Amino acid sequence: MADKDHLIKVTNRDKIAPTGPHEQKSFAARCHCSRIRFSVTLATAALPLRAFICHCGACRTSHGTFGSFHIILPPGVAPEWDEGSSREQLAWYKGEYGGDLSFCPTCGTHAGGYSPELDQWAVTWGIFDEKFWQLAFHTCTQSAAGGGMAPWLPEVAGAAVPHVSLGSQDFPNACEPCVGPDGRERLRAECACGGVAFSITRPSQEVIDDEYMGDYVMSSSSAENPTTRSNDENYKWKAFLDMCRDCGRLSGATVVPWILVPRIAITDPPMPPDFQGVGTLKTYQSTRGRVTRGFCGRCGATVLLGTTRRTPSERQAVLNVAMGVLRAPEGVRAEDWTVWRTGNVAWADDARGYDAEFTDALVSGIRNWGVETHGQAVDFPVI
């Protein structure tokens, strides 16, 4: 468990506004569709606030990312709602380990939550227009088999990001091997509440041989030389990090990990072209007519994304599946199923305009991890 000093720092309880007159600054936040709008007002002397990434299973599967990206507001600070927006317009989900998580029921943007135990609000990074925090801690990394994205962020702006334990917080038996009716292994995907669940198959020969879908699989040898296609059977799906502002705002995180999977490789149940009728899955067009996102209407988890840019035909459509909802037994990076793009991070240049220090640390961290663990930094196009 975290010691008292760490707990005070994680919760920013030492960042209470001074008594008497003092300078303040307000920071605006909004969801993607602008239904949810608020600001927080902070003492400038308290800035930056400490932020953390919680890697526990509840946070991963309720957000669809490799963790929740949260800032706990100092005692006495709460969201100040814009006219026409209110707390009542949020959808609320009580997580596995207490605390209430909130998201926009229209677009799925995660806004944060409230802890009755602490009597403090937590807000997500991605919904703010201006940065007022610094990543200070990784929490609950023991819950993320293999470490998740923590090994990619050992430091930010030259400052170490320590790991703080808040106790074991993961679902029991959540990552058992999955086998389909045909006896073949499958990769299970399931959000926190279980309202959206499906399986992903290994790359089939139909996919591998397809002139379009075949570009989204790699073997161990093709990772070493992406221009060649080998005959070995160890084909995997491609995985990458995405730092576009739409993804960051909708997930509440600064970065979303995706696995690229043809729609025809999703089963138990199959994924319809319009994403309709799959449990509690709701859809939202973040770019009208071009990008459709699916999220759980009960727990808010980002689940998948479809774009016309990866749909040469209905049969050949390739989807982004959010890796936070995957239940790979070997670890949250699902490395038995994926080849990671470690040589580049999608939309990193745009992200630098929002948070250059975090972006540079992540780009460097995943590249270094790729070289150290696989002998190289792998790169490939993701569109």
Give the chain's mean pLDDT. Answer: 92
Kindly report, residue by residue over 278-323, the tens digit of the pLDDT.
Answer: 999 999 999 999 999 999 999 999 999 999 999 999 999 999 999 9
pLDDT for 177 equals 81
Alpha-carbon distance 107 to 11, whole Å? 28
Instruction: Check residue 246 and give its pLDDT.
Output: 95
Tell me which fold the domain 4-164 belongs to. Answer: 2.170.150
d(CA 25, CA 314): 49
Task: Report percent pLDDT > 90 for the chain.
Answer: 82
- What integer pLDDT is reported at residue 100 of this predicted model? 84
The domain at 178-374 falls in which architecture?
Beta Complex (2.170)
pLDDT band (50, 70, 90) for residue 230 = very low
Condensed to tens digits (0 to 9), the pLDDT of residues 47-57 reads 999 999 999 99
> HSE (CB half, 13 Å, CA atoms) of 50?
21
Single-letter residue type at 138? H
Band (222; pLDDT cuts 50, 70, 90): low
H-state helical runs in the chain = 4-10, 57-63, 205-209, 220-224, 245-251, 348-374
CATH 2.170.150.70 occupies which residues in the chain? 4-164, 178-374
Question: In whole angstroms, how far apart are CA 171 and each of 176, 194, 224, 330, 337?
Answer: 11, 12, 36, 15, 21
pLDDT band of 187, cuts 50, 70, 90: very high
Q: What is the per-residue burial (b if ≥16 Cβ within 10 Å, else e) of 252-279?
A: bbbbbbbbbbbbbbbeeeebeeebeebb
